[in-house]
Amino acid sequence: DASYLSPHVNLASRLEAATKQYGVPILFSEEVAKHLSPTLLSLCRLLDRVTVKGSTQPLHVYTWDFQPFTHLSPSTASDESSGGKEEVSGVDALATSMRPGGEWESHCTPEELLLQYGPHTSESFRHLFKQAVEAYLGGPTGEASNWKEATVLLQQCREVRPGDGPSERLLSFVSQHADKDENAPSWWRGFRSLEDK
């Protein structure tokens, strides 16, 4: 099967592994983001611009901030002590909303389902995080980066949402690589290598 040789398999594997680095349940590339409606894309977060091992082409990576919610699980439905409910992530809920053949259990589309459960981040938080990422990346070439401002904004993000994985990850990267004046290093071109698998 030719798909095993596809660069998409490598990219999917790298992004799946990187979810642990960013502390998010899902990451997807700009190629996937292009297929989202403007409404759905506005509810996602651009996290970073990276290259993955085996590729030199930088790509933007995004996440959808799935929220845990109470979901009726067939395995616990008859368990009176738990009330038949368990906390599951939005990712798991989407997976259980599909039949084995790939059809949706409900009559709503995947987009309607995502909009129904929405991200667990507020619009104001996503706007603040977007400003931080823009200051960090500095445009297509990195020339407009302002890591001092990015640091301040990311610290504000951390205050609003303590333990936010993407904010912590970017703060860590910036603090490790900023020059003595807390600016982006001379080699910064608006992306970084995501080598860890």
Contact 38, 45 (CB under 8 A): no
pLDDT at 76: 36
Q: How far apart are CA 153 and CA 143, in angstroms?
A: 19
Token representation of residue 26: 């899902």
Contact 61, 48 (CB under 8 A): yes
pTM of structure: 0.76
Token representation of residue 131: 């400003």
pLDDT at 67: 67
- Per DSSP, the three-state class of 115 is helix
Which parts of the chain sit beneath pLDDT 70? Answer: 1-8, 67-108, 110, 113, 195-197
pLDDT at 22: 94
Question: Could you read off the pLDDT of 71-124 as tens digits, one per residue?
Answer: 434 433 333 344 444 444 555 555 455 455 555 455 667 677 677 777 889 999
Contact 49, 170 (CB under 8 A): no
pLDDT at 109: 73
pLDDT at 40: 87
